[in-house]
Amino acid sequence: MIFVYSLGGSILAGRDAESLKEYAAALKNLAQEHQIFVVVGGGKIAREYIEKARALGAGEAFCDLLGIGATKLNAMILIAALGKDVAPEPPETYARALESSAGGKIVVLGGMQPGQTTDAVAALLAEYVHADKMIVATSVDGVYSADPEIDPKAKKFDHMTHSDLVRLSMETTLSAGSRSPVDPLAAKIIERSSIPAVVVYGGNVENLKKAAEGGHSGTEIS
């Protein structure tokens, strides 16, 4: 099967080498049976740099490009942890990502163009490579009816439809560095191609496998 992961930058950032090796081992294990693509987010460094640039008067597209730089830094760290059997740098295009996967190599990507987040990159890549599933491994353990950090009554969905996800994600903003469960563009892309998706807590490395093969407690979108 072909799986495209959107691995939040907040999940990788701040981990020591040993812990990064655990993520690499989990991905290599999955790659023995499946074709694996991982799109890595920008996390804290992206937010810090974006905030600083914005305070200095930079425009949103400039801030987005800064964010993309941060995603590539994080992608390179994961590539370092994976060692061999991985494409040596984040591809700049979807076609190159597909080419790089030849021979069962894991492909790690960062951001692509301004105006979106790495969830959208993962969704577009999932379309491009005809993925069986897109897996969003992030800092929350599923999709909630409201931000669980702000609203204690927020309810987690075990399952939702693509159109439910589009509606929910549209309620959040598209400004550089914004926090939303899934980028609205990503939601629209997976909706138009009916790509099954899962949102799981990425801080638990076992969820990478469970999201792909079953047994997770996140949100299924189909």
Contact residues toward ligand UTP (CB under 6 A) are 8-10, 41-43, 46, 63-64, 67-68, 71, 111-114, 116-118, 121, 138, 176-177, 179
Cα–Cα distances in angstroms (integers) from residue 180 to residues 97, 113, 115, 183, in the given order: 26, 18, 14, 6
Output the smallest distance, CB 31 to ligand UTP, in A.
Answer: 22
What's the token pair of residue 180?
């939303």
Residue 100, H or E segment: helix 94-100
Closer of 51 and 99 to ligand UTP (Cβ) = 51
- DSSP for 9-46 reads HHHHTT--HHHHHHHHHHHHHHHTTSEEEEEE--HHHH
Output the smallest distance, CB 174 to ligand UTP, in A.
Answer: 9
Question: What is the largest distance, in Å, between two alpha-carbon atoms of the chain?
Answer: 48
Output the smallest distance, CB 123 to ligand UTP, in A.
Answer: 11
Ranked by CB distance to ligand UTP, the top (closest) residue is: 67
Closer of 85 and 174 to ligand UTP (Cβ) = 174
Output the smallest distance, CB 189 to ligand UTP, in A.
Answer: 12
Closer of 56 and 102 to ligand UTP (Cβ) = 56
Between CA 24 and CA 12 the distance in angstroms is 11
